[in-house]
Each structure stands twice: as C-alpha cells, then as structure tokens.
Structure 1
Amino acid sequence: MKPETYASFLSKTRRRVVGFDVLVIALSPLFANLIKWQSVFTLENRNVRDSLTILLLCLLWCFSLSQSNAWDAAGLDNRFDIYRAPLLAAGKALLIFSTYSYIFRTAFSREWVLVQIVTTIVAIIISRTLINYYFQKSITKSSKFKPITYLVVSAVHEFQSLCDEFLLSHRIKPEFVHMELDTTMSDETKGLNIYRKLVEMQAEGLILMSKASVADNILRSVQHLRQPKNLKEVVYVSQLELLNERMRPMVPRNWFRLGRPRLLDSQRLIKRALDITISFIALVLLAPFFIIIALLIKLTSKGPVFYISERVGRFNKPFRFIKFRTMIATADQERKTAIGAGVVENLTDYHSDYRITKFGKFLRRFSIDETPQFLHVLYGSMSLVGPRPILFEELSDVPNDASIRFIAKPGLTGIWQVNGRKSTLWDQRMRQDLLYVETWTFLGDIKLIIKTFFTVLKGHGAA
C-alpha cells in the first residue's frame, strides 16, 4: 500500500469539514424550532414564504463560508484560520439576511434567527475542534505520509535559511530540491525552465525567492505552473498587485502562500448556479425575438441564420460557438482579404470590413448577435462572465504568462466588454483576462453584468 501524501490528506480532511458544516447548517433550523417553539417540525404554523426564507438562510451560510475561505484546504493546518473563518462567515450571513428581511419586510422571528445563527456557530466550532484533534493526532505520525517535495528557486547562500524559515509554518518536514536561475535568461525562459524542472521531479510545491533574481514579473510568467498534476502549493517571498486576492500570510512575516484561484475551488458552483438561472430566464424571454431576428437575417442577406465556428474553451478544449450571422456567407474565406490574418488590433479594420451586412451592423452595435450564446452558458461550455472567447488561430498570440486565463470558461461578457469591447487592444484584453481570473468574486460578476447592460445600450466600442 502506497503511503498517503500530506496534500491528499489535507484534501480528504477538507471534504470532511465541508460535509460536517453542511450537515450542521441543514440541522440547525430544526434545533432552532425546538428551542423557540418546542417542536422540531412547525410546518403547520409556517407558510411557503417562511420555508423559502429558512432555505435562503441555509444557502447564505454555505455561500458565506465559501466566500470566507472556510473551506480552503491550505488553511486547515492553521489553528487560527479554522475558527476565524466561520465567525467571519456568520457576520456576512447575518448582514445579508438582515438586509433581505428589511427590503422584503419578512415577519420572521428575530429570536429564531439569533438561535439559528448561534447554534450553527457553536456546532461548527465543536465539529472543527474534533476534526482538528483528529488532524493533530494524524500528523504526529508523520511517517505515515509520503514526503512532500518542494522545488526551491533561490541563490545558493539563501537556500538553507529559506528552508529553515519555511519549516516554521509547516508541520510535516518536506524534501527540498534547490534550483538557481541564470540571471542572463529572459523571464519567459526562466519560467519555462522552472516548469520543466517541476514536471521532471513531480514536485508538489514551489518556493520562489524574489531576492534571488526571481522578479515579480517572473511569477506572472509561471502562474500557469499550477497546471502540472502534482503541484499543490506555490509560496513566494514577495507581494504582487495582481495576486493580492490569493495571498495567504504564513508565519514568517514576508512569506505568503499563493492560494488556488477561486474559480478552481468550490465557489465555482455559485457561479454555475448564477449561469443556469440567468441563461434559462434569458432564453425564455428572448425566444420570440429570436424568431423575428432570424426572419430579418434571411430577408436582408443570403446564407444561414446562425454563424457557427470553433473557439477555445476552458482548459484549451474546443467548443462549437454560435451567434446570429452578421456577415456575408463567405466571410471566413475572405477574412485575410478583408482584415488580414491573426489578431486584429485596429478597430477601423472592423468598421471598414465589407463583409458585414447592413442588418449585421445593427446587431453588432447592441451585441444582439451574441444572444444565442445563452445556450452555451446553459449547457456549460461558456459562462455569463469570463475571458473573451478566442479563435484557434489567435491561440499562438496568447503569451505564456496569460495561459492561466484558460482555467475559466469563456464569457458572454467580461472586463473587456465594459472597457472598450472591440476597441480594446490585444495586450489589454490579455491583462483584463488575467485580472478577472485572479480577482474573481461572485459580487464582481454581478457588477460586470449590470455594467454590460448599460455599455451595450450605449453601443460604445462595437464593430
């Protein structure tokens, strides 16, 4: 039997924490009923609206725990974080629920809500204390774990002190492999060399020392190193503006753990729920207009109603991309003649593109041609908000340091849509995609959706 790795043990413990938390949240309303009304089930006294309110409170708890990083596997070995996160989540849940109650004037017992909140906090803390006891007991038998291998990128004279400091925040002693970079290399070459070394040694962790000629821009170049199957943790001794959202402080004051992007964690389920809800409603409301638009396209130009092409999806997987046709039927064959090959940087190239039909210009101005993509959002190949979907011929123009953009599904809208649309230059689009992936939040998506509505109405930046 192969020894278990510490990373897999953390992952297994995380699943137990999530399971206990969800169980506690589900049972807490019953306990609150027992305290308040001396009966576990009080459905005869509750109407449908109150039942939905109770369900909302439970969902708010799960949402708040997820947003507070209470289910972050990397924080399980931190005695402070396992208790701080649930308390922070309780404050968020109470604030949101209070706002909801005030706006919709719900006549709900404040005593019941208080009992439910307090009960949930106490139960979660007790369950985490028990899990932490099991956690502590397991890691004392460190021989049961397969040693973790870390690649340490630093100067030779800094290697030993770096390892000693790192052990202050880790309970299991890892194996360190040193690597020193050639300062004459370009940042891209340095990043590629680190990537190859990680794959070769199947490392589970990477430590970067900025003082050892590893500048902040190299860290951006190696963000895609989270793609190797074994790599579970990235630690750096520096601060990056782009990565602030993912920084988790460690024991040495200038040390930070680079957490996984939220789009790879359980919070992506919240994003998916929003995608399904809005795309379904949008398709139902827009269905009659789709018929009218289809008829107008057939009446104003020859060719099919829809334009279907292949785009690059999440994790570089291809998917079929559908939109209302806004160009002549032979547009793909005449692309090079009209605007040239590769990435188009100049908006005037689009404005003077003879392939766009008159009705197509109207559809493009208000992004009506993109509305069929709600089908992709509902199906799951796209998201409401995300990086801009790109063509496969544009894939070679995506720099290595921007490849992390592909951990997200392409978006119907995004930062690029509310900041210029077609008028945004390629490099700016890549930076905007990186910014979105690194700093994604649920509320951020809501803001971008609202901004998109007003941007599209104005018709700015359209081609």
Structure 2
Amino acid sequence: MTVRPVPHIPESALTFALDSLPRDGAAHDSSRGLRHRALVSIPLTALATDSLVIGVTAVLAITGRNRLPIFDVAGDVSDMLGVVGPLMFLAWVITIAASGGYARSVFGAGPDEYKRVVNASLLTAAVVGVGCYLAKFPLSRGFFLLAFGIGVPLLVLGRFALRRALHKAHRLGVLQHRVLIAGRPSHIDEIAAVLDRERWLGYQVVGAVTPAGHVSATTASGIEVLGDSADLAAVAGAAGADVVFFANGAFRTSDEMRRAAWDLEQHRTQVVVAPSVTDVARERITVRPVGGLPLMHLDAARATKASRWAKRTFDLVGASALIVVLSPLLLLAAVRVWAFDRGPVLFRQVRTGRDGVEFACFKFRSMVTDAEALLARLHAEEGFEGGLFKMKDDPRITKPGRWLRRFSLDELPQLFNVVRGEMSLVGPRPPLPTEVAAYDDDMRRRLRVRPGMTGLWQVSGRSDLSWEEAIRLDIYYVDNWSMLQDLSILARTVGAVASSRGAY
C-alpha cells in the first residue's frame, strides 16, 4: 500500500485499450488483472528506455574519446573498457532502480522522476570515480566525462519522451487508473472536477463512496454513489478500482481510515489522500510527519516575489533584446496595417495593471477603425453578459489583422509596455477596467502582479478557454509564481503561437 498526496492539479508502444474491458464476474477479475499488467508495463518500458539510452551513451562516449581532437592522446579505449564498461553501465541502471526511478508512483507527474534519475546518475559517477581511484584502474577521463556528460541529459530526455507518451495515452483513454472517491459529496465533486480537467493524469472516476447516512444515488455532479465508507474495500473490489481517493468526510475517525487502508491493502488497491487544497504548486507544499501525524505546511503565496527586481531585470533585458531582434517583423507588420486602409498603425486601449493602475496597452491595429462603435451591436447579437468578449469570426477584423492575430503578432508592441514597466513578459492577461469593476475579492488577486504578454491562459488554450478557467489559471500563476515557471511558459508560448490554437 502506498499513501501519498494527490498530484498537483491549478507518447511509443503504450497502447492498451482498457476501457472496453468487461466488468462483471470472472470477466471483471480478468479485466482488472489485464489492466494491472498494463500499468506494470510502464516501469518496464522506462527500464528498456534507460537501457537503450545508456547503450547509446556508451557508443558515443567511446567514439568521442577515440576521435575527438580535444583529447591530448588519441587511442582506442575499447579494450580498456572490456570489463569495466559493462559493469559501470549495469551499475548505473541498478542505482536508478535502487533510487526508486522505476517506482510506479513517480511516473506521469511531478519532478521526482527526473530528480531520482539525475541523483542516481551523479551517485554512479561518484562511485565509479572513487572506485577506479582506489583500485588504481586507469579509466579514461575523457570517456568518463563524455559518458556522464552525454548520458544524464539523454536519460532525462528519454524520460520526458516517455512521459509525453504516457500523457497522450491517458488523453486517449488508455492506461487509465480506475478511481473510487470516498468522502463528502461536495468534496467528491471538487476532486472529480480536477481529475476530469487534468485528464493527462490518467484517473478515471468510476464512482463514489459516501459516509453512512447519505441517501442520494448520485452526487450533485452526477457521480454514482456505489456504497458507504463502512464497506469501502468491498465496493472498491466490485467496481474494479485501482486507486481510492480519501477525501474529506469519508471517515469519522482516523482509526476508521486506517482500517480502511488496511482492507484496501489486501486487494492491492492504492490509497491517495486528497486534502481540501487545490491550485497550490508542489514547491509551496512540505509534508512533515510529527508523531505519526502527517502535517502539510503551505508556504505563503508568491505574488510579492513576482514583483521583485530579478523579474523586472529579466523583463527589461528580454524585452529590449526582442525589440532589436524582431524589429524587421515589427516594421513589416506596421506597413501591412497602414497599407490596408491608411488608418492608425497602433491601437491603444486602456487596461488595468498592477495594483489597479490603468495604462495604455499597445497593439497593432487588427480591426476596422470604428471597431469600438460596432461593439455594442455585437454584444447584443451574441447575447454577451460579461467577462472576456471573443468571436471566432469577428466581422470587425481586417485582412492583415487576421494574419496578425493568427500568430499573435498584434501583441508585439506590448514589448514597449514591458520596457516602460507597465507589463511583464509573463503574467496574467491585462484586463479591461470594465472587467475589473465586476471582480470579486478572489479575482482581484490577479492585480497583485504586472500583467503579462503571455501567461498560463495563453499557453493553455487562449480564447478556447472559458472565462472562469482563464481566471483560475491567472490566480494560480499569481499565488505560485517562480522564475522557472516563467521560463517554462515562455518556452510553451512558442508552441502555442506556432499552432495558433485558440487564437482569434
């Protein structure tokens, strides 16, 4: 049995079609056994991937040591490595395994998988280096440096590719964990909503278990209630559940919860404890067991850190460099906008920035000159009631405007807003004052940092997202800011722009 917190919520031969398997009687048991074997194959696939990568690393390291001119003495080191080489690489795989690099719990989400592979690789390098020194074995230093200098990045890339394959399989509905959620109906629905939104996690909710006394056949969101928590193990077995989520209110006492976990252990069912905490980054969570009681410590929100000099310096240097590099594209876009109807090149719109301060947000004009005058009529025609107004076939957009919007080139002038300190390269979307006027207290947290040219909502679907989802992502960014997250969003922005997903 493994008890661990729920993963944070805000591709290869992994193709086992599990959803079509039968669910009753002996056929049901066979279905569960096949699904279990399919899930067990994930660590085996990782082992095969690592072994292949390490084999390729060996060839590259030997070839590089023999042929690269950077080494003083040329020669063939293959004979020297006849015995030591295979032992070294076998030890590498064994160390990864001993470090938990093939544990089922590390696959799919979080940085633990990468950390264990890197730490095991560094430990292997240290043991090999010290062992050869003590044994006075003349291991080629060039080979040693190339082996681990090439091998570690390749191992991480291999695991990244495997993770992408796993996520794709999950989204296609295969290699799924069948999940039973035990708890109060309201919290069951909250967890189910997160698991449904984050389908790449591979959790398929098959039912719910509620405390004794709950009489409804389904929860508010329509999840079928299969029984009560007193018969949890039996219900989980009948439903073919691989994982049981313990949500709030599932048990009256900790003793009941412990006994339920013991019962589930006999059926090889994994237990996941899901506290009433969502949209908190892993970096802000520390679990510290005290007297057998696992206490979850939450660090303070990081909005203030997102406003410090380091981020501002990064924005200023990055925006200035981009203006210089993209100046030919900026000039081309300006000429196309002006040549279409001889109207203004730039569109200045009042937006709300950090701490509610309004500023003029720059964009290349992508609409007709009287676009604002036509807005009220479009609101009435579309039945717009509030939030962010977007139309896939907005009649106000000009021909060059469609080109600009397709690749988000209309937003490039905002680089000057970044230089002026009104915006950041990464941050929440800059809202209109009319939007801010309708904000509640939660939404106003978006205003604690500078708005960004790109952000989580842009790389997660842009205009394809609902208003509520865009707000949720922006608040998540504010509360969980980090420089690494900014760099990740910038990298993902390139793909989002290239695919034009959600851009209109």
TM-score normalized with structure 2 length: 0.42
Larger radius of gyration: 2
TM-score normalized with structure 1 length: 0.45
The structure richer in helix per residue is: 1
